[in-house]
Amino acid sequence: MKQQIAIKTAVVIGNTITLECSPADCDKARAVIDEGKPLAAVIGTASQKRSLSANAYAWTLMNQLAAKINRPVLDIYRDLIRDIGGSSALVTLRADAAKAFKNGWESKGDGWQVHKLDEMTTPQGTFYNLQCWYGSSQFNPSQMHRLIELIVQECQQQGIPTMTPEEISKLKGLTDDADPQ
């Protein structure tokens, strides 16, 4: 069993590390320890996730835009996802594995997309180069801020009212000085 926990504080004394976490996270860790199997740990810094208020605002605007231009909201969303830097990966796969890969990738959410860039035939078989976009659920605050900026630009071109840049910057999770509540 594997569990992920949030660490409130960590103290290192010699070769001993003491971690403080929430009661729920302690219960998760205890369940793994109680299995009696050898343990391994990975530790890293926690990254700030985008906020639900920013996400809700993005979807509110995209729905208004979709109604105004008579276009499916998911088409708008998927197009805008592709304009966010750092939101894709390039993958090379055997052609016979590409369909299963695409189905698995795109099943992760509405924004998760795979596009074939090109095809290479080699003595070992045919291979596809694929560009794979992550959905906004994986975006960091900077990427989410950029997505909202793009949506706002599209809405303003259609005369749809939007928040001011100052109001947008106060959405939870979009900037370092945003309200942490």
Q: Give per-residue pLDDT as tens, 56-79.
A: 999 999 999 999 999 999 999 999
CA atoms of 171 and 53, how far apart (whole Å)? 6
The predicted model gives 125-129 an average pLDDT of 96
Residue 71 falls inside a structural domain: yes
Q: Residues of the chain with pLDDT > 90: what percent? A: 57
- Same structural domain for residues 56 and 31? no
Choose between 91 and 47: higher pLDDT: 91
In a domain, 24, yes or no: yes
- Split into its structural domains, the chain has a count of 2
**Domain extent for 35:** 1-46
Identify whether 175 is part of a domain.
no
- How many whole angstroms separate alpha carbon 22 and alpha carbon 25? 5
Going by pLDDT thresholds of 50, 70 and 90, the confidence category of residue 49 is low
DSSP letter at 35? T
Q: Is pLDDT above 50 for 181?
A: no
pLDDT score for 50 = 53
User: Is there a single domain that holds both residue 74 and residue 139?
Assistant: yes
Residue 177 belongs to a domain: no
Does residue 95 sit within a domain?
Answer: yes
Name the pLDDT band for 179 (thresholds 50, 70, 90).
very low
* C-beta atoms surrounding 180 within 10 Å: 9
Residue type, 21: C
Neighbours of 84 (CB within 10 A): 21
Task: Tell whether 94 and 135 lie within a shared domain.
Answer: yes
